[in-house]
């Protein structure tokens, strides 16, 4: 779904590549044993290594390597059995050693692919160029003192995975879908919590524009965009800026920019902020990282079912549409919840409608999550059972569901308590219908003269008389008989 | 004092074991000796109270029947080793007031083995130098003097304070560190034994880093046996240093027992430099003759890439140093010189905190790593380094150990060579190749120059074959019978 930009002089194509920094889920940092929990008091999670005290040495955290390999496998990527940590040298107070340990020429993960799920149900492949491990920096706090900067080193040394895509995306929507899908895969794997508000995922956005079918233009890199919405906005405004610039006879300068979400525009970073010669060289404190192929295979064998495979299975086994299946598998917890509702016995389509409809609606409305929701998978399943065996109608079921959500009680108990059981006794319904028909000669006449719509009025009256408990199918059938059709 | 400080480390150990002397007596004598050698400026920090305390604790352990390899023996520690609660300067202004809250692995092992700390020895700033002239704490004087000439001489470097302290009998032994010759060259200049073990044999954890791929800890002592005892306590795998190697530590002293009959000694023709003093050449030949007489076979060998070792070293070591020294920025510890803004503070702190030689090497290192020069310098140097290692690997297919001079001259006078960094760098011409190859090397005092200064011979061995190196060094030591003493000795 290429979306072209209409300029003054014709159409332009947007070319997008993303570099995502994803914080690895791990108790300890990449090269030290210090803790990594978010929100701790400043400088309480700092080891001697993180503070770059003289003579301190990094020791690689094996679990983090496993997380990186897992992530690589989840992106269908090549795992490099030999990789090298290098030093990226620059001075900054929140970077205590004066260098960041990163992977440069030889990353742990090579080429892979992500499949995007687009809103129309179609899919699109986006290439992954590489994934490498690196240390995060600390945090500079400029607002604590009028003239001084405070430093919090809690984050210094925490592991990031930098995941670089190929320039394969052509619209802000695709970029959004890419970040959502990448986030989904990493969350399935348990390698990154994907929490963009806490900074667990940050994006650098590379954008260029060109005439359709022509070679790519000069790109800019917009740094540290921290939500999916902002990624899409940043691309939109940056692409339009470039088009306007080119159409006015200017040229795009290859540069680093920042996205100002308040003003909704990008601006160039001061050259001082980016003019670095990083002087990368292999870190002599660390040996090259050599992986045992058997260990990699063991990690591969223990991977969970990932969203693409799950989606295919939901479509195949449950007969779901691509869109519904895509929505259900986006989060591992949702997919597991859905499967627990179906529980191998209930109608999967009805379950999908209820989960994506009423249930998600209630979650959103009340700001709850699956963990804290008052209705669990068994509870929702119980409600579906009452619909399936015709104890209640679909309409009543919605009422019952709302009561379940409010009270936390089971569906059967609520139906019992409130006397909501569906009336399926033909005699009782016939009696009610006879009364309605007798009291509405005008409507009967209208119906007989061919106005089918008036039938709905009769159904409505019947429902009103039974507080909605009459079986709607039965009401329809009996009405037609009685009105002579 | 003289009686106890004149002992070498193994003799003192034997007296302690026999109960003829206590660690406290031995330590008190050495504390006095440390004070007596103050004119040499060998120590940056003396720790007499700590020494006595440690000696008393050692005597108490011995009384309970617990005695480590270094039990009760007072030694000096190069000020590159972080020592908990004790000022650690690396010879630099920039580490002003730095008292580490941790103890380096090697010193921790020494204390665990029972050793007693006398103080922290002077050194070239960040171990960058071959004369001890670059120390912020001033030059160290060599206890030796040329015959008939009272001008003060350098002790060599960078472990110059350790070399001078051991030679002047202020300590039974001292730790050094060796990046390109910083243990072996001062050992040669001071007439003592200095051993640089295989890279990875001793942990670098807690050692202020100069060039991470080259730095190694090692002992400096007055006999080969002493060095073997001390290395046994210092060596070993450390999970906190990824480059330390997980192999058992042999009893190096036991390795001295054998003889050298049938051992093959290589003489590399490339170490015969143009313009090398005849006395060095003669001493080398003397070493060959001694080993032959002891039953070893001597073979001429070639190490063809030797002449590239020094220039390559002066790319690799500064490159790593330029990055390792970036952490001294005035933000967290040591010196901070205030500035207008952040960059100004960095510049003021580093400008004032680092000496000229350190600045020179940081600049060289930054240059060789910078965009456009990396491949021509750093990357090429790494490739040459593998060729240097291959030279040795090939040679060790036919010989067991390599014999060379340690340094191309005897100690020079304080002030000489200071205006010519290249002449200064040439001091390391014989020691740098083994450093680049990560191999163990030892310097053994073998004779005196014409003007009465000590000269050392170097033995280089296979990786992790310190035992053979010690054994041959022992044979060389016996044959040389070096018993000359420097004119300046504590207590005389």
Backbone angles phi, psi at A295, to 5 degrees: -65, -40
Q: Which of B102, B206, B370 sits opposite A277 (nearest CB)?
A: B370
Which residues of chain B make contact with A89, given a CB cutoff of 8 A?
Answer: 322-323, 326, 369
- pLDDT one-digit tens code per residue, B1-19: 578 999 999 999 999 999 9
| pLDDT(B178) > 90 | yes
| pLDDT(A479) > 90 | no
Q: Name residue A205's beta-bridge partners.
A: A18, A222
CB distance from A348 to chain B under 8 Å?
no
> Residue A131 — very low, low, confident or very high, per pLDDT cuts 50/70/90?
very high
Of B473, B479, B402, the C-alpha closest to B443 is: B473
Is the Cβ–Cβ distance between B338 and B407 less than 8 Å?
Answer: no
- Residue B378 DSSP code: I
Per-residue pLDDT, A389: 87
Which residues of chain A make contact with B88, given a CB cutoff of 8 A?
Answer: 54
Per-residue pLDDT, A444: 86
> Residue B252 — very low, low, confident or very high, per pLDDT cuts 50/70/90?
very high
- pLDDT one-digit tens code per residue, A427-469: 888 888 888 888 888 888 888 888 888 888 888 888 888 888 8
Q: Would residue B273 count as lying in a domain?
A: no
Interface test with A, best of B332, B346, B438 (most A CBs within 10 A): B332
Interface test with A, best of B107, B244, B324 (most A CBs within 10 A): B324
Per-residue pLDDT, A214: 94
> Residue A485 — very low, low, confident or very high, per pLDDT cuts 50/70/90?
low
Q: Would residue B249 count as lying in a domain?
A: yes
| pLDDT(A142) > 60 | yes
Q: Would residue B332 count as lying in a domain?
A: no
Q: Which of B104, B208, B369 sits opposite A281 (nearest CB)?
A: B369
CB distance from A343 to chain B under 8 Å?
no
Per-residue pLDDT, A118: 83
Asked if B239's CB is within 8 angstroms of A59's CB, the reply is yes
From B95, which residue of chain A is nearest by alpha-carbon distance?
A: A54
The verdict on whether B23 is a catalytic residue reads no
Give A40 to chain B, closest Cα distance, Å: 21
Of B227, B160, B154, the C-alpha closest to B194 is: B227
Residues A229 and A148 in one domain: yes
Torsion angle, alpha carbons of B177, B179, B182, B185, to 10 = 130
Return mean pLDDT, chain A: 92
Asked if A279's CB is within 8 angstroms of B374's CB, the reply is yes
- pLDDT one-digit tens code per residue, A168-218: 999 999 999 999 999 999 999 999 999 998 889 999 999 999 999 999 999
The verdict on whether B78 is a catalytic residue reads yes
Residues A108 and A126 in one domain: yes
Q: Which of B78, B109, B196, B417 is catalytic?
A: B78
Which residues of chain B make contact with A56, given a CB cutoff of 8 A?
Answer: 205-206
| pLDDT(B491) > 90 | no
Domain that residue B23 falls in: 2-263+398-480
Domain that residue A477 falls in: 426-482
Residue B68's CB is within 10 A of a number of other CB atoms, namely 18
Backbone angles phi, psi at B189, to 5 degrees: -65, -30
Q: How far is CA B255 from CA A224, A391, A429, in A?
A: 60, 91, 107
Is the Cβ–Cβ distance between B169 and B462 less than 8 Å?
Answer: no
Q: Which of B243, B329, B378 sits opposite A281 (nearest CB)?
A: B378
CB distance from B101 to chain A under 8 Å?
yes
Residues A82 and A229 in one domain: yes
Examine the fold and report which residue of A373, A393, A418 is the final residue of a domain before the chain moves on. A418
ipTM of model: 0.96
Which residues of chain B make contact with A59, given a CB cutoff of 8 A?
Answer: 239-242
Average pLDDT over residues B302-311: 96
Alpha helix ranges (H) inside B265-304: 278-293
Q: How far apart, in whole angstroms, are the C-alpha atoms of residue A291 and residue A299? A: 12
- Residue B142 DSSP code: P
Residues A235 and A316 in one domain: no
The more confidently predicted of residues B216 and A415 is B216
CB distance from A141 to chain B under 8 Å?
no
Q: What's the CATH number where B447 sits?
A: 3.90.1300.10
Interface test with A, best of B87, B94, B199, B326 (most A CBs within 10 A): B326
| pLDDT(A145) > 60 | yes
Length of chain A: 485
Which residues of chain B make contact with A93, given a CB cutoff of 8 A?
Answer: 329, 331, 342
Q: Would residue B486 count as lying in a domain?
A: no
Residues A16 and A82 in one domain: yes
Average pLDDT over residues A298-306: 97
Asked if A286's CB is within 8 angstroms of B241's CB, the reply is no
Per-residue pLDDT, A390: 83
Residues A170 and A185 in one domain: yes
Q: Domain total for chain B?
A: 1
Q: How far apart, in whole angstroms, are the C-alpha atoms of residue A238 and residue B233? A: 64
Q: Would residue B388 count as lying in a domain?
A: no
Per-residue pLDDT, A431: 86
Q: Would residue B299 count as lying in a domain?
A: no
CB distance from B85 to chain A under 8 Å?
no
pLDDT > 90: percent of chain B: 94
Q: Would residue B226 count as lying in a domain?
A: yes
Q: Domain total for chain A?
A: 3
| pLDDT(A273) > 70 | no
> Residue A473 — very low, low, confident or very high, per pLDDT cuts 50/70/90?
confident
Residues A369 and A445 in one domain: no
Q: How far apart, in whole angstroms, are the C-alpha atoms of residue B180 and residue B316? A: 11
- pLDDT one-digit tens code per residue, B23-62: 999 999 999 999 999 999 999 999 999 999 999 999 999 9
Is the Cβ–Cβ distance between A354 and A384 less than 8 Å?
Answer: yes
- pLDDT one-digit tens code per residue, B117-130: 999 999 999 999 99
> Residue A2 — very low, low, confident or very high, per pLDDT cuts 50/70/90?
low
Which residues of chain B make contact with A289, given a CB cutoff of 8 A?
Answer: none
Q: Which of B90, B98, B241 sits opposite A57 (nearest CB)?
A: B241
| pLDDT(B150) > 60 | yes
Average pLDDT over residues B266-281: 92
Least reliable range by pLDDT among A10-14, A217-221, A394-398: A394-398
Examine the fold and report which residue of A298, A319, A348 is the final residue of a domain before the chain moves on. A298
Of A469, A473, A440, A477, the C-alpha closest to A457 is: A440
Residues A82 and A191 in one domain: yes
Per-residue pLDDT, B96: 98
Per-residue pLDDT, A391: 85
Per-residue pLDDT, A272: 53
Q: How far apart, in whole angstroms, are the C-alpha atoms of residue A252 and residue B19? A: 84
Q: Which two tokens stand for residue A451?
A: 């106005």
The verdict on whether B18 is a catalytic residue reads no
CA A146 to mean position of chain CA atoms: 40
From A32, which residue of chain B is nearest by alpha-carbon distance?
A: B240
Q: Would residue B189 count as lying in a domain?
A: yes
- pLDDT one-digit tens code per residue, A41-58: 999 999 999 999 999 999
Residues contacting A301, CB < 8 A, separation 6+: none
Per-residue pLDDT, A271: 62
Largest CA distance in chain B: 70
- pLDDT one-digit tens code per residue, B422-481: 778 888 999 999 999 999 999 999 999 999 999 999 999 999 999 999 999 999 999 999
- Residue B178 DSSP code: E
| A120: exposed, middle or buried (Cβ count in 10 Å: 0-12, 13-18, 19+) | exposed
Examine the fold and report which residue of A368, A388, A418 is the final residue of a domain before the chain moves on. A418
Give B126 to chain A, closest Cα distance, Å: 11
- pLDDT one-digit tens code per residue, A391-436: 888 888 999 999 999 999 999 999 888 877 877 777 888 888 888 8
Q: Which of B104, B182, B223, B322 is catalytic?
A: B182
- pLDDT one-digit tens code per residue, A236-265: 999 999 999 999 999 999 999 999 989 989
Residues A276 and A132 in one domain: yes
Q: Which residue has the tokens 């807690």?
A: B206
Per-residue pLDDT, A276: 77
Of B213, B119, B126, B233, the C-alpha closest to B166 is: B119
Q: How far apart, in whole angstroms, are the C-alpha atoms of residue B94 and residue B324? A: 14
Average pLDDT over residues B122-146: 97
């Amino acid at each position: 779904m290429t979306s072209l930009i209409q300029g003054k002089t014709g159409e332009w194509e947007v070319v997008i590549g993303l570099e995502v920094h994803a914080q690895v889920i791990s108790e300890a940092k990449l090269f030290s044993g210090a803790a990594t929990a978010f929100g701790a008091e400043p400088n309480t999670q700092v080891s001697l290594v993180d503070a770059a005290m003289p003579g301190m040495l990094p020791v690689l955290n094996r679990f983090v390597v496993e997380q990186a390999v897992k992530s690589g496998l989840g992106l269908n990527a090549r795992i490099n059995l030999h990789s090298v940590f290098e030093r990226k040298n620059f001075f900054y107070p929140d970077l205590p050693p004066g260098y960041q340990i990163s992977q440069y020429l030889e990353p742990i993960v090579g080429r892979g692919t992500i499949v995007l799920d687009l809103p129309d149900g179609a899919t699109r492949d986006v290439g992954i160029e590489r994934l490498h491990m690196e240390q995060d920096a600390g945090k500079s706090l400029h607002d604590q003192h009028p003239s001084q900067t405070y430093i919090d080193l809690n984050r210094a040394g925490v592991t990031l995975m930098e995941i670089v895509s190929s320039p394969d995306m052509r619209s802000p929507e695709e970029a959004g879908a890419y970040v959502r899908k990448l986030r989904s895969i990493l969350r399935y794997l348990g390698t990154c919590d994907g929490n963009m508000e806490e900074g667990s995922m940050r994006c650098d956005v590379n954008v260029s524009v060109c005439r359709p079918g022509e070679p790519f233009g000069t790109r800019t890199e917009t740094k540290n965009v921290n939500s999916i919405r902002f990624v899409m906005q940043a691309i939109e405004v940056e692409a339009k800026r470039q088009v306007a610039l080119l159409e006015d006879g200017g040229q795009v300068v290859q540069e680093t920019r920042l996205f100002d979400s308040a003003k909704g525009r990008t601006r160039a970073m001061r050259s001082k902020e980016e003019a670095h010669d990083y002087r990368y060289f292999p870190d002599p404190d660390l040996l090259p990282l050599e992986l045992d192929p058997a260990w990699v295979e063991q990690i591969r064998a223990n991977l969970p079912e990932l969203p693409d495979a799950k989606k295919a299975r939901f479509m195949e086994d449950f007969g779901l549409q691509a869109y519904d299946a895509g929505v259900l598998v986006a989060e591992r917890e949702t997919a597991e919840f859905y499967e627990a509702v179906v529980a191998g016995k209930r109608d999967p389509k009805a379950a999908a409608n209820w989960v994506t409809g009423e249930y998600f609606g209630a979650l959103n409305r009340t700001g709850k999550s699956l963990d804290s929701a008052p209705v669990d998978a068994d509870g929702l399943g119980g409600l579906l059972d009452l619909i399936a065996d015709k104890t209640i109608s679909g309409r009543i079921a919605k009422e019952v569901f709302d009561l379940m959500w409010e009270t936390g009680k089971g569906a059967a108990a609520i139906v019992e308590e409130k006397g909501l059981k569906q009336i399926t006794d033909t005699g009782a319904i016939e009696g009610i219908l006879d009364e309605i028909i007798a009291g509405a000669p005008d409507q009967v006449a209208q119906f007989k003269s061919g106005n089918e719509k008036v039938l709905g009025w009769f159904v409505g009256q019947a429902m009103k008389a039974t507080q909605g408990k009459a079986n709607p199918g039965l009401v329809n059938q009996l009405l037609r008989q009685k009105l002579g059709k | 004092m003289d009686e106890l400080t004149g002992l070498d480390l193994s003799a003192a150990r034997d007296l302690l074991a026999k109960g003829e002397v206590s660690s406290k007596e031995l330590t008190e004598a050495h504390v006095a000796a440390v004070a007596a050698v103050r004119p040499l400026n060998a120590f940056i920090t003396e720790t007499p109270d700590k020494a006595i305390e440690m000696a008393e604790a050692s005597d108490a352990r011995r009384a309970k029947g617990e005695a480590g390899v270094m039990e009760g023996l007072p030694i000096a520690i190069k000020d590159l080793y972080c020592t908990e609660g004790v000022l650690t300067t690396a010879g630099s202004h920039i580490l002003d007031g730095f008292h580490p809250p941790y103890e380096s692995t090697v010193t921790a092992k020494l204390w665990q083995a029972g050793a007693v700390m006398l103080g922290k020895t002077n050194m070239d700033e960040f171990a960058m130098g071959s004369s001890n002239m670059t120390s912020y704490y001033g030059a160290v004087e060599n206890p030796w003097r040329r015959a008939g000439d009272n001008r003060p001489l350098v002790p060599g470097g960078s472990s110059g304070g350790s070399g001078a302290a051991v030679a002047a009998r202020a300590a039974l032994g001292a730790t050094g560190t060796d990046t390109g010759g910083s243990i072996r060259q001062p050992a040669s200049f001071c007439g003592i034994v200095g051993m640089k073990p295989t890279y990875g044999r001793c942990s670098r954890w807690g050692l202020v880093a100069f060039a991470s791929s080259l730095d190694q800890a090692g002992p400096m002592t007055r006999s080969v046996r002493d060095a073997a005892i001390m290395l046994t306590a210092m060596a070993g795998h450390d999970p906190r240093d990824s480059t330390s190697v997980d192999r058992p530590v042999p009893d190096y002293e036991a390795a001295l027992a054998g003889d050298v009959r049938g051992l093959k000694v290589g003489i590399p023709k490339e170490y015969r430099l143009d313009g090398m003093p005849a006395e060095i050449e003669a001493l080398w030949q003397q070493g060959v003759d001694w080993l032959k007489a002891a039953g070893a076979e001597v073979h001429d060998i070639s190490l063809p890439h030797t002449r590239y070792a020094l220039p390559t070293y002066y790319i690799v070591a500064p490159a790593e140093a330029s990055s390792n020294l970036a952490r001294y920025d005035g933000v967290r510890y040591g010196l901070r010189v205030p500035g207008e803004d952040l960059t100004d503070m960095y510049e003021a702190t580093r400008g004032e905190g680092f000496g000229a030689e350190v600045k020179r090497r940081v600049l060289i290192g930054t240059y060789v790593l910078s965009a456009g020069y990396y491949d021509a310098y750093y990357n090429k140097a790494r490739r040459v380094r593998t060729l240097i290692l291959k030279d040795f690997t090939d040679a060790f297919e036919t010989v067991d150990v390599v014999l060379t001079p340690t340094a191309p001259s005897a100690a020079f006078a304080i002030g000489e060579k200071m205006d010519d960094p290249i002449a200064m760098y040439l001091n390391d011409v014989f020691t740098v190749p083994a450093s680049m190859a990560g191999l163990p090397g030892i310097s053994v005092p073998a004779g005196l120059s014409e003007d009465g200064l000590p000269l050392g011979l170097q033995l280089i061995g296979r990786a992790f074959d310190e035992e053979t190196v010690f054994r041959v060094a022992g044979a060389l030591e016996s044959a040389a019978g070096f018993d000359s003493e420097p004119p300046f000795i504590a207590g005389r």
